[in-house]
């Protein structure tokens, strides 16, 4: 679904967003397709397992995706009762970026902090951000679980790195970012409704 900015009316954009979410593709390892509902349920179950085993959940992104990461981390801690963390504290991130290169900053932090069974939620609209892809590979190597959220091209590299991969078929930054926020809010809402006690 390509971006068409000729009609920016709210009604048209709402229709575009609805179609985008409905056409969201979720795949597991080795590109095994999951239908939308089973894919979201798999994310919820993965996070519930992490909570029950007292594993941590790390949520990362750049720019607007970092904003999404920060927002969902609040909901994960407050509503889902997860041990959830972002890694974009400015002094810490800039230290890692300065010392090891920005493309390695998150991977370096996760290499020191993450342990087997921890979960990484890696958000990148393009799915091509080297620092996000490197972090996903690092957590997989540690024995953690990787959940990716991306958009843009179907063959973006991030989409091949997760145990669960959410891909939104659009090149429209705004719709992809809102779509990622919507998916993650839906995950949190399921914890709030079911309590998973």
| 164 Cα distance to chain centroid | 10
User: Is residue 23's pLDDT more than 70?
Assistant: yes
Classified as helix, coil or strand, 152 is coil
Confidence of residue 30 (pLDDT cuts 50, 70, 90): confident
Query: Global pTM?
Result: 0.94
Band the pLDDT of 1: cuts 50, 70, 90.
very low
Span 154-164, average pLDDT? 97
Please state, as a whole number, how many other Cβ atoms lie within 10 Å of the Cβ of residue 16.
Answer: 18
DSSP string, 76-107: HHHTS--EEEE---HHHHHHHHHHH-GGGHHH
Task: Calculate mean pLDDT across residues 87-103.
Answer: 96
Distances in whole angstroms, Cα of residue 126 to Cα of each of 151, 158, 185 = 5, 9, 20
Average pLDDT over residues 174-194: 95
Identify the burial level of 154 via C-beta atoms within 10 angstroms of its C-beta, where 0-12 means exposed, 13-18 middle and 19 or more buried: exposed
User: CATH topology for 25-194?
Assistant: Rossmann fold (3.40.50)
How confident is the model at residue 167, as a pLDDT?
98
């Amino acid at each position: 679904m390509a971006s068409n900015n000729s009609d920016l009316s709210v009604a048209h954009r709402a229709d575009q967003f609805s179609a985008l979410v409905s056409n969201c593709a979720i795949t597991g390892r080795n590109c095994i397709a999951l239908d939308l509902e089973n894919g979201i349920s798999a994310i919820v179950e993965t996070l519930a397992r992490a909570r029950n085993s007292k594993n941590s959940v790390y949520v990362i992104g750049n720019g607007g995706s970092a904003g999404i990461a920060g927002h969902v981390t609040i909901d994960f801690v407050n509503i889902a009762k997860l041990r959830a963390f972002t890694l974009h504290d400015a002094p810490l991130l800039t230290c890692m970026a300065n010392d090891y290169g920005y493309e390695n900053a998150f991977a370096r932090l996760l290499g020191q902090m993450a342990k087997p069974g921890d979960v990484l939620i890696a958000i990148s609209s393009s799915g091509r951000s080297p620092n996000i892809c490197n972090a996903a590979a690092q957590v997989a190597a540690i024995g953690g679980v990787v959940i990716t959220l991306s958009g843009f091209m179907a063959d973006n590299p991030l989409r091949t790195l997760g145990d669960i991969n959410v891909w939104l078929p659009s090149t429209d930054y705004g719709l992809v970012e809102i779509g990622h926020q919507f998916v993650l809010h839906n995950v949190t809402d399921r914890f709030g409704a079911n309590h998973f006690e």
